[in-house]
Amino acid sequence: MHVALTGATGFLGLRLLRRLLDTHRSVTVLTHAGSADALHRITRFFELTGAPEEFTAGLPRRLRVVETDLALPRLGLSGRTFQKLADSIGAIWHSAGSINLQGDLPELRGINVEGTRHILEFAAAGRRSPVVHHVSTAFVAGGRRTGVAYEDELDDSGGFENAYEQSKYEAELLVHAWSREHARPVLVLRPSILVTDLPTHPELPPHPLLVVERILRDARGAAEPPLPGPAGRRPRVRVVGHPHGRLNLLQVEHAAEVMVRLAGLSLSGGVDTYHVVHDRDVPVPTVVALLERLVPLSVDLVATRPDAPSELEALLDFYPGMTAYLAHRRRFDDTRVRTRLGPSAACAPVSLDYLLSGLAPGAGLAPGAG
C-alpha cells in the first residue's frame, strides 16, 4: 500500500514520516507549493537526529515530493495530475495544519478546515478508496476545564479557549460527515501537547512551547517598567490558573509511534477516534516553574483576573490562548488506546528536566524540582 503524508516537514510530521518509512518502502510527501526544499529539510532532520547514513542516503529514492496547496480545490493541481495522484494512494495521513493559538478564526479555518475538506475530496477521488488518518487534537474538548474528556465526545457546548481549538473541532465535523456520506472508515488521532527533549536547532521545526517563551519575552520587553519593585527583582505577573491544575504533555516521538501502531489495527468502518495522550499529566506548578526558568519573571497563579492589571499583565491578556490552559484540571480518557495497545501505550514521565532539555539546554534542574 502506498501512503501519502501532509505536514511531513512539521514537528510531528517528521516523526510520523520516520515511523512510516519503517513500514513502507516509499512515501508520497504532499508539501506546500513554493515552500523551501522539502527533501532537503527532511534529510537535514534525519542527519541532525542521528539517523544512519544509509537511511538518509536512500531518502531521494524512497520519497516522492509533490508540491500542493491544501487551501485550493484539487490541492492546486491540474485535473489530470490530481486524479493520477489520487489513484496511486492507498492511505492518507493528514498531519498538516496551523497550531497558532493566537490566530483568528477565518485564517485558521482556511488552513485547518478547508485543508481537511480538500484532503477528504482527494481521498474520495482515489480509485483505491484510501483510508484517511486525520491528525486532530485532544483540545477539541474545548473550554471545559474540569472532568473527563472522552474519545467519542465531539461537541461545542463548553465553547473554546481559542480559534485553533474551534477550527480543529470543525475539521473533525467534516471528517464525520464525509465518513457517513461515503461509508468510508477514518482514523482520527487526537494528540495532546507534544514536546521533545531534543535541543532546539535553526534547521529543525521549533518546539511548540517556544511560542510561549516568545510571548512572555515580548510582553516583558514591551512593559516599561515591567512592574514596580526594588531594582534587580524579577517582575511578578499574576496569571489566572489553578494550583492543582494539570496539562497533558506527551513526547512527540512516542506519539508518532502510537499513531502508526494504531493505524495498523482493524477499523470499525466508521470514525475511530483515539486520544494519543500521556497517562500522567504534568502539574501546572511544573509548567509555571518551566516558564520562570525560560523568562526572567515570577508567575503568581490567581483565581480571577486582577482588577487593576499591571502593564505586563495587560499585555499578556492579548494572548488568552496560551494562558488559559493553566486553569485546566480535566483529564483525557484514553481507555481505547490502552485497551488496544496494552502497557506499551505508556511512556516515561515528562519532567521539568526533560522540558528544559528541549527548550533551554544547559539550564539544569533546580534543586528539589521535578
Is 369 among the domain residues? no
User: pLDDT per position in the chain (370 positions), as tens?
Assistant: 899 999 999 999 999 999 999 999 999 999 988 776 999 999 999 999 999 999 999 999 999 999 999 999 999 999 999 999 999 999 999 999 999 888 899 999 999 999 999 999 999 999 999 999 999 999 999 999 999 999 999 999 999 999 999 999 999 999 999 999 999 999 999 999 999 999 888 888 988 888 777 777 777 776 655 444 554 578 888 989 999 999 999 999 999 999 999 999 999 999 999 999 999 999 999 999 998 998 888 999 999 989 998 888 887 766 656 678 999 999 999 999 999 999 889 999 999 999 999 988 755 444 344 4
In a domain? residue 135: yes
Which CATH number goes with the domain that contains 149? Answer: 3.40.50.720
Assign residue 76 a region (left: φ > 0; alpha: ψ between -120 and 50; beta: otherwise).
left
Does 229 lie in the same domain as 177? no
Looking at residue 366, its pLDDT comes to 42
Both 178 and 289 in one domain: the answer is no
User: 128 and 263 share a domain?
Assistant: yes
What is the total count of domains within the chain? 2
In a domain? residue 43: yes
Looking at the structure, tell me whether residues 158 and 289 fall in a common domain.
no
Residue keyed to cell 463548553? 158
Tell me: do 134 and 60 sit in the same domain: yes
Contact 366, 293 (CB under 8 A): yes
Look at residue 56 and tell me if it is in a domain: yes
Do residue 320 and residue 267 come from a single domain? no
| Residue 217 structural domain | 210-246+282-329+349-359
Q: CA-CA distances (angstroms) from residue 111 to 16, 71, 117, 218, 337?
A: 20, 6, 10, 26, 28
* Residues 162 and 175 occupy one common structural domain: yes
320 shares a domain with 355: yes
- The verdict on 95 and 32 lying in the same domain is yes
pTM: predicted TM-score of the whole model, two decimal places: 0.93
Work out the number of other CB atoms within 10 angstroms of the CB of residue 366: 13
